[in-house]
């Protein structure tokens, strides 16, 4: 049975993460420094890939040129994310391609919103890194602890948000738009919901940090460094996307 202390709302890092692999006795165990290095490498890969659709938009001034990169990155990234999540041993080979594909998607989406709300992309990037730094400091100093109650609350909130996402996607197939998720809906309720989602995404970082630290302590295999780096990137991408959505709504006021 998976250890109850290994719970996260992140689909890449969750309570089954280390139940899937042998621990305590791996010939080459994962290390904290190794995980940090690989997480940094994935983040750099994502940012470099994001420059491609962004540069295409800046050089042409036509937002339509980013469509192929956005679609290919979003679909390809989702496929690789599912493969890595179900088979962690593929992380050393697929984590970097995943980061590159997500970079194409994020770069394309950022350029699209930049055309409507100048300056929004750099604001979202700054806020994302700011939130990450605050959460890391809060975790390292013990200001926020990943207790059982904390995990339960964050898991429940994340599950509820995921359910809303699914319902929204299903409704979109029938051309029904959910107002609170629309970028043009700047009502207090819509902005409040976006703030809550950003907060839940940020709190998932605490659970990710805790799972990584626990994996190191349990001596998980070295390839889990890539898997944990992938999982952390999933949360950061989610956080960035929701901050972008929140800023877009606030710009409409």
With the C-alpha atoms ordered 81, 83, 85, 89, is the resulting torsion angle positive or negative? negative
The pTM of the full predicted model, rounded to 2 decimals, is: 0.87
Per residue in 193-233, pLDDT (tens digit) is 899 999 999 999 999 999 899 889 888 899 999 999 999 99
Cβ atoms of 28 and 222 closer than 8 Å = yes
d(CA 60, CA 62) in angstroms, rounded, equals 5
In a domain, 79, yes or no: yes
| Digit-coded pLDDT (tens) for 29-46 | 899 999 999 999 999 999
Mean pLDDT lowest among 9-13, 89-93, 133-137 = 9-13
Q: Specify the pLDDT at position 179.
A: 61
In a domain, 27, yes or no: no
Residues 6+ apart with CB under 8 A from 213: 32
Position 10 in a domain: no
When mean pLDDT is compared over 18-22, 89-93, 249-253, the highest value belongs to 89-93
**Percent of the residues in the chain that have a pLDDT greater than 70, as a whole number:** 85
Q: Is 83 helix (H, G, I), strand (E, B) or coil?
A: helix
* Enclosing domain of residue 153: 32-251
Number of compact structural domains in the chain: 1
Question: What average pLDDT does the segment 73-95 reach?
Answer: 94
Residue 111 is predicted with a pLDDT of 92
Of 5-19, 97-111, 159-173, which one has max mean pLDDT? Answer: 97-111
Pick left, alpha or beta for residue 85 (phi over 0 → left; psi -120 to 50 → alpha; otherwise beta): alpha
Residue 11 is assigned to a structural domain of this protein: no
The SS3 assignment for 117 reads coil
Tens digits of residue pLDDT in 178-196: 666 666 677 888 888 899 9
Asked if the structure places residue 225 within a domain, the reply is: yes
Q: Is the pLDDT of residue 9 over 60?
A: no
Residue 5 reports pLDDT greater than 80: no
- Span 102-122, average pLDDT: 93
- Give a yes or no: residue 17 inside a domain: no
**pLDDT attached to residue 1:** 34
In this predicted structure, the answer to whether residue 236 has a pLDDT above a threshold of 90 is yes
| Residue 132 scores a pLDDT above 80 | yes
**What pLDDT, on the 0 to 100 scale, is given for residue 3?**
44
18: Cβ contacts below 8 Å, ≥ 6 apart: 2, 3, 6, 211, 214, 215, 218, 220, 224
**According to the model, what pLDDT value does residue 6 have?**
46
Q: Is 51 part of a structural domain of the chain?
A: yes
Tell me the mean pLDDT in the region 65-82. Answer: 93
19 within some domain = no
């Amino acid at each position: 049975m998976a250890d109850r202390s290994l719970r996260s709302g992140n689909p890449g890092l969750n309570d089954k993460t280390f139940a899937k692999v042998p621990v305590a006795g791996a010939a080459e165990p994962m290390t904290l420094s190794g995980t940090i290095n690989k997480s940094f490498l994935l983040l750099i890969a994502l940012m470099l890939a994001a420059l491609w659709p962004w540069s295409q938009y800046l050089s042409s001034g036509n937002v339509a040129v980013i469509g192929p990169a956005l679609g290919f990155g979003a679909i390809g990234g989702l496929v690789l994310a599912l493969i890595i999540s179900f088979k962690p041993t593929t992380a050393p080979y697929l984590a970097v391609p995943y980061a590159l594909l997500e970079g194409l998607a994020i770069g394309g989406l950022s350029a699209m919103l930049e055309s409507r709300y100048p300056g929004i992309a750099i604001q979202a990037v700054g806020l994302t890194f700011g939130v990450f730094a605050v959460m890391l400091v809060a975790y390292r100093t013990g200001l926020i602890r990943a207790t059982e109650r904390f995990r339960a609350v964050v898991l429940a909130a994340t599950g509820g948000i995921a359910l809303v996402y699914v319902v929204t996607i299903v409704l979109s197939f029938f051309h029904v738009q959910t107002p609170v998720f629309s970028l043009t809906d700047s009502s207090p309720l819509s902005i409040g919901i976006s703030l809550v989602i950003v907060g839940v995404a940020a709190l998932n970082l605490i659970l990710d940090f805790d799972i990584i630290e626990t994996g190191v302590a349990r001596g998980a295999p070295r390839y889990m460094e890539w898997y944990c780096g992938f999982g952390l990137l999933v949360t950061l991408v989610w956080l960035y996307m929701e901050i972008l959505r929140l800023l877009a709504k606030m710009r409409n006021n």
